[in-house]
A = this chain, B = another copy of it.
Amino acid sequence: MKVNVHVSLKPGVLDPQGRAIHHALEGLGFAGVNDVRAGRLIALDVADDTSDEALDDMCRKLLANMVIENYRIEKVG
């Protein structure tokens, strides 16, 4: 089973990587960019019988830092 985990910073948390990307896009001449936030995408290939609880557990224990990050689990198939 393919599972994508999207990890993004919580709103309000300072995002220096996103700011650097924003700045670089402006430097390259791209206008109309209002905001950039950087996050992580973790693509897992897990056994078909992996429970939602186990996936949740993986995110909370390792993949995301729950203090400053949110995660979203997307089952791809």
A residues neighboring B (CB under 8 Å): 6-8, 18, 21, 24-25, 28, 30-47, 49-50, 54, 57-58, 61-63
Contacts and interface: CB of A to CB of B under 8 A. Distances in A.
B44 A41 contact: no
A71 B39 CA distance: 14
**How many protomers of this protein does the assembly include?**
2
A32 B47 contact: yes
Contact of A25 (B8, B30, B58): B58
B30 A54 contact: yes
Closest 6 CB pairs of A and B: A32-B47, A35-B45, A39-B41, A34-B45, A37-B43, A41-B41
Contacts of A28: 58, 61-62
